[in-house]
Amino acid sequence: MKHPCISTAIALGCLFSACKPATNNEATQANAQAFLDAYNQKYQALYYEDNLAQWQLNTRIVAGDTTQQQITDAADKAFADFTGSKENIDSAQHYLKDTAALTPLQVRQFETILFYAGNTPATAGDVVARRIKAQNTQTAALYGFRYTIDGKPVTSGKIDEILATSTDLPLRRSAWTASKEVGKALKVGLDSLQNLRNASVAPLGYKNFFDYNAREYGMSEDEVLQLTRKFIAEVWPLYRELHTWARYELAAKYKQPVPAYLPADWLPNRWGQDWTALVQVEGLNFDKILKERGVTWMAKEGENFYSSLGFDSLPATFWTRSSLYSVPVDSPFSKNNHASAWHLDLNRDVRSLQSITPTTEYWSTVLHEFGHIYYFLSYSNPNIPFVLRNGANRGFHEAFGTMMGLASLQKPFLEGRNLIPANTKTNDTLKLLQEALDYVVHIPWGSGVMTEFEYQLYVKKIPQSAYNRTWWDLVKKYQGIEPPTERGEIYCDAATKTHINDDAAQYYDYSIANVLVFQFHDYIAKNILHQDPHATNYWGNKEVGNFLKKVMEPGASVSWQSLLKTSIGQDMSAQAMVDYFAPLMTYLKHVNAGRNYTLPEKI
């Protein structure tokens, strides 16, 4: 039932301007709830419209056609106008003056409403609209870019394949260089976003866009840097060993002198964020089986995995509305190839955007993205208001998806799914090395390069003329990587990375997620499965499913710090990751004995 003062769902501001003042906590809570009910209803409707437009923008990109971008701009603006309206800001601030009179769930909603308003405040004038348009222009330019090698068109997937498999150094350099050409066109747009993002959050008192995003974690910009730098320091001794090992291994592979720093085009990833392709673990590559079973089987098996844990089947619309498979190279349109999960209506319309390929690597990606989907569905319950239907923090979402990816590649799990033969003999140390080349290597990249670049961009306000120099200084410091050729300021290599343009100032989410992965996985392995964390099988264990549901279902309705403490009894720390890779550390120290280290002992 609506509060008497509300004639329509959008008439939100009257709740404290026209209604009689609350005389006790019960009346205050009733007024507050009426406001929140109306807000949540309108919030969901506009959120859905905006996501539908974004979905089209990302799944059907036609070169030269700006129609969908205009539709998306309008939907973005409508959503921004609502969340940032003066009425909503005034209302949230009014109720938060008397938090003792509200329920904890109401307080949390008002705090979230005010936080969302901070990104799109009406008091910023046309800055918000200009920022939205600038970001969508960047997105379309990045994902609509046509890559070429020697004048011939190639997909981004082909570039990735060359870097992952080829030993032809000239071809590798051509592929790596081709992957950076889009940065030229994105540089001016990034300059606009830098200024517009900072300006859009200023009216509600945020120092800059980096500070704004940090506040979602309940941290200041400096506290985020302290946390991410702590992660780097914790894993640095192991990363230093991995870096030394890679320099010598790759020099031998390419028959070149051992370099002081890793040439970027020697690595199997465009940004050097993932080195797993440097190692092939015999017995654990099941590409052939996946090709036989096909990409549709991979997708359905992802659902089967979660069903085995006790989760419900996915909504039928997931299968009819998702974009799970690659667009043909001769297609008249392209799409965003970055795998992602979408919660379009904050309820049951869940979708995934992928380009599933029958590879061992993509097997874990499928389970990762489905992890997001099941997290969405878990907190889409009547107890969680729409505005709080999110992860406990942004890192939690990535953690659960990534943890499932990790678990899906452990030997007992694979044997149980007949993806590898029973009692397969493997080199466990090599398997640990391959995992470290993913999870550990990512920390200096995500916590170091990406986070520190965005800190420089938004906090230090580096000029456009210093983008590329700043980027490569950070890459060398944190990753120990150098470009294969001189990279002048005509380029903007930072902007070739997805999250610099869209979903910005949040890359430390992945670092936080990687840390949480090992904390949660260690807890599940030791306390629920009673298995070695290096050799688990989640499949079919309803107790694991119940534990995950318990952590997922509250969404953002509770403090993430308290949720972490009550679920696994720990604060956030990389110690579980360090412990997991302890056997590998011993191995690498032996292998690297007598080799020259480039990176310092401490970062």
Average pLDDT over residues 47-52: 97
Where on the phi/psi map is residue 338: left (φ > 0), alpha (ψ -120 to 50), or beta? beta
Predicted pLDDT of residue 5: 36
Average pLDDT over residues 314-331: 93
pTM: 0.85
Q: For 371-387, write each residue's pLDDT tens digit.
A: 999 999 999 999 999 99
Give me the mean pLDDT over the 507-535 stretch: 95
Closest CA to 270 of 484, 575, 507, 584: 484
**Catalytic-residue membership of 534:** no
By DSSP bridging, strand 481-482 and strand 350-353 are unpaired
Q: pLDDT tens digits for 252-263? A: 999 999 999 999
pLDDT at 10 (0 to 100): 38
Calpha distance 462→458 (Å, rounded): 8
Residue 23: predicted pLDDT: 53
Residue 34: the pLDDT is 98
Query: Known binder of ligand: residue 362?
Result: no
| ∠ Cα 22 24 27 (to 5°) | 55
175-514-259 Cα angle (round to 5)? 40
Q: Which of 216, 301, 303, 369 is catalytic?
A: 369
Nearest Cα to 254, choosing from 246, 266, 268, 269?
Answer: 266
SS (H, E, C) 21-86: CCCCHHHHHHHHHHHHHHHHHHHHHHHHHHHHHHHHHHHCECCCCCHHHHHHHHHHHHHHHHHCCH
Residue 297 pLDDT more than 60?
yes
Residue 388: what residue type?
A: L
Strands 340-343 and 350-353, sheet pairing: antiparallel
Instruction: Tell me the mean pLDDT in the region 35-55.
Output: 97
597 is in an annotated binding site: no
430 pLDDT higher than 50: yes
Cα angle at 217 between 53 and 198, to 5 degrees?
A: 60
pLDDT for 134: 92
Does 534 appear as a known binding residue? no
Task: State how far the Cα of 335 lies from the Cα of 315, in Å rounded to an integer.
Answer: 24
- Output the six-digit token pair for 315: 């909504």
Active-site annotation holder among 3, 94, 338, 499:
499
pLDDT at 277 over 60: yes
Q: Do 163 and 270 contact (CB within 8 A), yes or no?
A: yes
Integer CA distances (angstroms), 344 to 83, 333, 524, 570, in order: 17, 22, 30, 33
pLDDT of 6 higher than 50: no
Res 3: pLDDT: 35
369 is known as an active-site residue: yes
For the segment 557-582, the average pLDDT, to the nearest whole number, is 95
- The answer to whether 273 touches 436, Cβ cutoff 8 Å, is no
Question: How far is Cα 172 from Cα 253, in angstroms, rounded to an integer?
Answer: 13
User: According to the annotation, is 343 in a ligand binding site?
Assistant: no
pLDDT digits (tens, 9 = 90+) for 133-168: 898 899 889 988 999 999 999 999 899 999 999 999
CA-nearest of 269, 302, 575 to 438 is: 269
C-alpha–C-alpha distance, residues 83 and 237, integer Å: 45
More confident residue, 338 or 33: 33
pLDDT band at 64 (very low <50, low <70, confident <90, very high): confident
pLDDT of residue 140: 86
pLDDT for position 15: 43
Percent of the chain with pLDDT over 90: 83
Nearest Cα residue to 512 out of 210, 206, 225: 225
End-to-end CA separation in angstroms for the chain: 59
pLDDT of residue 83 exceeding 80, the answer is yes
Mean pLDDT of all residues in the chain?
A: 93
Q: What is the C-alpha separation between 243 and 597, in angstroms, rounded?
A: 8
pLDDT in tens, 16-25: 444 444 458 8
Most confident of 52-61, 218-227, 258-267: 258-267
Contact present, 521 and 408 (Cβ < 8 Å): no
Tokens of 536: 């688990």
- Classified as helix, coil or strand, 442 is helix
